[in-house]
Amino acid sequence: MDVLKVTPRGYCYGVVDALVLAKRAAKDESLPRPIVVLGQIVHNRHAVAELATYGIQTLDTTAGEARLDLLDQVPPGATLIFTAHGVSPAVRAEAARRGFHVLDATCPDVTKTHRLIQDRTRDGYFILYIGTPGHPEPEGAMGEAVPGRATLVATVAEAQSVEIPPGPVAIMTQTTLSQWDTAAIIAALLERRPDAEVHNEICLATQLRQEAVVKAAAEVDLVVVVGDARSNNSNRLVEVSQQVGGTRSVRVDTVDDLRPEWLTGVRRVAVTAGSSTPSPITRAVIQQLEAWGVEANHAR
Are 176 and 137 in contact by the 8 Å Cβ rule? The answer is yes
Residue 131 to residues 46, 49, 57, 148, 288, Cα–Cα distance (Å): 25, 27, 28, 17, 35
| Given the residues 29, 137, 139, 219, the one annotated as active site | 137
d(CA 150, CA 143): 9
Are 56 and 78 in contact by the 8 Å Cβ rule? The answer is no
- 141 burial class (0-12, 13-18, 19+ CB within 10 angstroms)? buried
- Nearest-CA neighbor of 272 among 234, 220, 246? 234
Are 281 and 254 in contact by the 8 Å Cβ rule? The answer is yes
d(CA 125, CA 123): 6
d(CA 46, CA 215): 28
d(CA 290, CA 103): 41
Q: In the annotation, is 50 catalytic? A: no
d(CA 199, CA 225): 28
- Nearest-CA neighbor of 156 among 178, 138, 175? 178
Active site residues per annotation: 137
